[in-house]
């Protein structure tokens, strides 16, 4: 069967010197084929070498598919545009976890199960008080999610399918509560308990923005917007943080600890931290007139500055999520009566100029999901430091779904990459008295 851009050959021939080996070629449902090199070292005594995994498939998965050249993103085969438009985040969570869209009864049951796991152990609130108030909320999230391992011993036996699903539902349910607590703690306001009669996104907005002194009314347009933003961020194949979760999980670590590892990885500015960095960059540019100066810096190899929110390892076309995020940004600003947001003007003009510039065109650098998310989240009332926390909240379902898929894979083994060693050859110890 010819996979797209593939070959009908079933093996690849590797010739080294006068020897040759046949390596199996495996087909996916769609997308690039793979050459199975699992036995290469045993056969040839050689490793492959691919820092950054630019040409390496680390696993087989049935959850998410990206066609970077076409700018396509599918969750279990469904296009992100349709899920973001017609579904809601918990429906996407069900789809990612179970593999199929839920019936009305299944959706109602799933919503019910998630809603009833939204509270955290009361002692978790004391855990927060060990932090300085100015701690970055991502530091708080790494620590508090890892700390969940200390509270939920009845869902850490990863060999029990029941416990794996309870842990998955608990993670999805408790992330908004912990994220809201991290936010409230930094602004010195009391924690707000979840309300079971609210939907997932509305509950989160209320836990973040309500205060004891007055009733909080959820704005349905804003709640729908944040729900859609969660759907856009839910999963994305084997990105750096998902690969971190898989590697941590491959040792048998409990799911809470694995998600904490994923949060730590997502924090980096090259990954999930880019939404925070992109907004800071727009603020640093400050005016449309200064855009050419920053475009020049982004192209200068001697300048570490990069256009944050631009470029992607896989997308060599427009990130489909960025288009939906841009539309959501306009919706939110419109609902809030924000006529002209100077940062949005800079973002739109920066995008226009970059997409015409040879440097970006040649390297197929387009806006990614982080380019417009910061402006939207800021308009919704979140401080910059909470942007990556919201990314982590939404990506938790992707992480836990990929973790579950890995644990349930009968061929699963601990991940243990090898290396190209270029250090010192073997040499004898020299006592300190004899060192020069
Ligand atoms: C996310 O993997 C995922 O799926 C991630 C994610 C998800 O949902 O999980 O999509 C979320 O992390 C989105 C990406 C957010 N990061 C940023 O916006 C940070 C800015 N972008 C870059 O740092 C970069 O584009 C990466 C990290 C996203 C991708 O880096 P790659 O694939 O390693 O690409 P590269 O660094 O090899 O760049 C290729 C060329 C280089 O120029 P040359 O050496 O070929 O001359 O493009 C240039 C780079 O210098 N380049 C940029 C650029 N991104 C790449 N130049 C200026 N500005 C940029 N943003």
Report which ligand 1 atom has the smallest distance to the Cα of 241: 9
Nearest residue CA, atom 8 of ligand 1? Answer: 236
Report the pLDDT averaged over residues 297-314: 94
Cβ(363) – ligand 1 distance below 6 Å = yes
Q: Which residues pair with 11 in a beta bridge?
A: 24
Q: CB-hemisphere CA count at 13 Å for 29?
A: 11
> What's the gap in Å between 271 CA and the centre of ligand 1?
9
Query: Which numbered atom of ligand 1 lies nearest the CA of 240?
Result: 2
Separation of CA 349 from chain center: 27
pLDDT at residue 3 greater than cutoff 70? no
Q: If you take atom 37 of ligand 1, which residue's CA is the nearest one?
A: 313
Distance (Å) from CA 386 to ligand 1 centroid: 22
Q: How far is the CA of 413 from the centre of ligand 1 (A)?
A: 30
Q: Which of 51, 303, 312, 367 for a ligand 1 pocket mutation test, highest count of atoms within 8 Å of Cβ?
A: 312
pTM: 0.94
Question: Average pLDDT in the 333-359 region?
Answer: 92
Q: Which residues of 239-267 are buried (b: 16+ CB within 10 A; e: fewer)?
A: bbbbbbbbbbbbeebbbbbbbbbbbbbbb
Three-state SS at 80: helix
Residues 320-339: what's their mean pLDDT?
A: 94
Is pLDDT above 80 for 180? Answer: yes
Q: Whose Cα sits closest to atom 22 in ligand 1? A: 311
Catalytic pick from 312, 340, 345, 428?
Answer: 312
Contact status, residue 144 vs residue 128, Cβ threshold 8 Å = yes
pLDDT (tens digit per residue) in 237-256? 999 999 999 999 999 999 99
Residue 340's pLDDT is: 83
**pLDDT single digits (tens) 269-295:** 999 999 999 999 999 999 999 999 999
Q: Calculate how far, in angstroms, residue 290's C-alpha sits from the geometric centre of ligand 1.
A: 22
Report CA(352)–ligand 1 centroid distance (Å): 18
Measured in angstroms, how far is the CA atom of residue 313 from the centroid of ligand 1? 6
Query: What is the DSSP-derived secondary structure letter of residue 227?
Result: H
Average pLDDT over residues 45-74: 96
Check whether 167 has a pLDDT greater than 50: yes
Ligand 1 centroid vs 134 CA: distance in angstroms?
30
Q: Which residues pair with 78 in a beta bridge?
A: 75
Nearest CA to ligand 1 atom 15: 271
Q: Could you give the CA distance from residue 315 to residue 365 in angstroms, rounded to a whole number? A: 8
The position carrying tokens 């598919």 is 65
Mean pLDDT of the residues in the chain: 95
Partners of 34 in the beta sheet? Answer: 26
The Cα 143–Cα 147 span in angstroms is 6
Give catalytic status of residue 27 as yes or no. Answer: no
Query: For the chain, what is the radius of gyration of the CA atoms?
Result: 24
Q: Is 368 in the pocket of ligand 1 (CB under 6 A)?
A: yes
How many C-beta atoms surround the C-beta of residue 72 within 10 A?
A: 17
Binning pLDDT at 50, 70 and 90, where does residue 2 land? very low
Residue among 67, 235, 341, 370 flagged as catalytic: 370
**Which residue's CA is the nearest one to ligand 1's atom 54?**
311
Which secondary-structure segment (H or E) carries 205? helix 200-209
H or E stretch including 90? helix 89-98
Residue 426 Cα, ligand 1 centroid: separation in angstroms? 38
Q: Is the CB of 307 under 6 A from ligand 1?
A: yes
Burial class (CB in 10 A: 0-12, 13-18, 19+), 372: buried
Respond yes or no: is residue 341 known to be catalytic: no
CA dihedral (75, 77, 80, 84) in degrees, to 10, reads -80
Query: Ligand 1 pocket, 306 CB below 6 A?
Result: yes
**CB 386 near ligand 1, within 6 Å:** no
Identify the band that residue 321 occupies on the pLDDT scale cut at 50, 70 and 90: very high
pLDDT of residue 5: 56
Nearest CA to ligand 1 atom 16: 270
The CB of 107 under 6 Å from ligand 1? The reply is: no
pLDDT > 70 fraction of the chain, expressed in percent and rounded:
99
pLDDT for residue 156 is more than 90: no
Q: Determine the average pLDDT of the residues in 305-311.
A: 93
What is the rounded distance in angstroms from the CA atom of residue 368 to the CA atom of residue 275? 10
CA distances from residue 347 to 31, 111, 269, 283, 375 in whole angstroms, order as listed: 32, 37, 18, 10, 9
Q: Is the CB of 308 under 6 A from ligand 1?
A: yes
The backbone torsions φ and ψ at residue 13, rounded to the nearest 5 degrees and listed phi first, read: -100, 130
> Residue 378 — very low, low, confident or very high, per pLDDT cuts 50/70/90?
very high
């Amino acid at each position: 069967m010819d996979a797209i851009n593939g070959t009908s050959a079933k093996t690849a021939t590797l010739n080294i010197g006068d020897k040759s080996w046949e390596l199996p070629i495996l087909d996916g449902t769609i997308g690039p084929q793979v050459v199975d090199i699992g036995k290469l070292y045993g056969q040839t005594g050689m490793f492959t070498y691919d820092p950054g995994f630019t040409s390496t498939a680390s696993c087989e998965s049935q959850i998410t598919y990206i066609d970077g050249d076409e700018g396509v993103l599918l969750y279990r085969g469904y296009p992100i545009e349709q899920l973001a438009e017609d579904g809601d985040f918990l429906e996407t969570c069900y789809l990612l976890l179970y593999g199929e869209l839920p019936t009305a009864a299944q959706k109602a049951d799933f919503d019910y199960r998630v809603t009833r796991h939204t509270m955290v152990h009361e002692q978790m609130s004391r855990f927060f008080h060990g932090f300085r108030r100015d701690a970055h909320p991502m530091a708080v999230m790494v620590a508090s999610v890892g700390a969940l391992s200390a509270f939920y011993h009845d869902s850490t036996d990863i060999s029990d399918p029941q416990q794996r699903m309870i842990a998955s539902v608990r993670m999805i349910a408790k992330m908004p509560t912990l994220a809201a607590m991290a936010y409230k703690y930094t602004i010195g306001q009391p924690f707000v308990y979840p309300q079971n009669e609210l939907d997932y996104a509305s509950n989160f907005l209320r836990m973040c923005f309500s205060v004891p002194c007055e009733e909080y009314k959820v704005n349905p347009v804003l709640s729908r917007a944040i729900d859609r933003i969660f759907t856009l961020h839910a999963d994305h194949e084997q990105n750096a943080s998902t690969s971190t979760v898989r590697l941590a999980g491959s040792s048998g670590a409990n799911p809470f600890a694995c998600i904490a590892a994923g949060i730590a990885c997502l924090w980096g500015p090259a990954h999930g931290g880019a939404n925070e960095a992109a907004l800071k960059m727009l603020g640093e540019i400050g005016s449309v007139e200064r855009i050419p100066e920053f475009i020049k810096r982004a192209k200068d190899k001697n300048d570490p500055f990069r256009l944050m929110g631009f470029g992607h390892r896989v997308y060599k076309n427009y990130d489909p999520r960025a288009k939906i995020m841009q539309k959501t940004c306009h919706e939110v600003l419109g609902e809030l009566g924000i006529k002209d947001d100077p940062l949005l003007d800079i973002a739109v003009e920066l995008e226009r100029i970059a997409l015409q510039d040879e440097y970006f065109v040649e390297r197929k650098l387009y806006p990614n999901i982080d380019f417009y998310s910061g402006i939207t989240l800021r308009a919704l009332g979140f401080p910059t430091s909470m942007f990556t926390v919201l990314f982590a909240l939404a990506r938790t379902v992707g992480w836990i779904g990929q973790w579950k898929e890995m644990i349930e894979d009968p061929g699963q083994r601990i991940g243990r990459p090898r290396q190209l060693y270029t250090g010192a050859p073997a040499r004898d110890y020299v006592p300190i008295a004899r060192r020069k």
